[in-house]
Amino acid sequence: MNAIVVLLTCTSEKEAKYIAEGLIRNKLAACVNILGKTESIFRWQAKVETASEVLLIIKSKRPVLPRIIKFIKSRHSYEVPEIIAIPIIAGEKKYLRWLDESLR
C-alpha cells in the first residue's frame, strides 16, 4: 500500500490554507485537514522554544512525497519545516480507492 499521512506544522492559519490549497490544486494530496492553534515546545539552535502553530494532516501517496516536500519547502516560512510522512498500513477500502483516484 502506498498511502501516507504527512504531518506539517505552519506558523498561521493563513500559511496553512495557502499550502493546503496548493497541495490539493496540484494533485499532491487528496485531502488536507487543518487543525487549529496548537502549542509546540521544541529545541532550536540549542535553546528550548515555544510557538503557536497550526497542524496540517495531509493524505497522499508515497511516490508523490518528494514532490510534496519540494512544494512545501518552496512555500513555507520556516528554515526547516516539520515534514513527517507516516505510512497508512490499513484503512477503509473505498476511502483508500478514493485517495488513489484523487491523485491521478
Domains and CATH numbers, the chain: 3-102 (3.30.70.120)
Model confidence pTM above 0.85: yes
Q: Give 8-33 as a DSSP string.
A: EEESSHHHHHHHHHHHHHTTS-SEEE
Nearest to 87 by CA among 16, 8, 7: 7
- The whole-number average pLDDT for the span 77-82 is 93
Over 80: is that where the pLDDT of 1 sits? no
Q: Which of the four pLDDT bands, split at 50, 70 and 90, describes residue 40?
A: very high
Grid cell of 42 as nine digits: 521544541
**26: three-class secondary structure by DSSP:** coil
> How confident is the model at residue 81, as a pLDDT?
95
Over 80: is that where the pLDDT of 56 sits? yes
Please count the CA atoms within 13 angstroms of the CA of 28 that sit on its side-chain side. Answer: 18
**69: three-class secondary structure by DSSP:** helix
| 58 phi, psi to nearest 5 deg | -105, 125
- The whole-number average pLDDT for the span 67-84 is 96
> How confident is the model at residue 64, as a pLDDT?
96
d(C-alpha 96, C-alpha 88), whole Å: 10
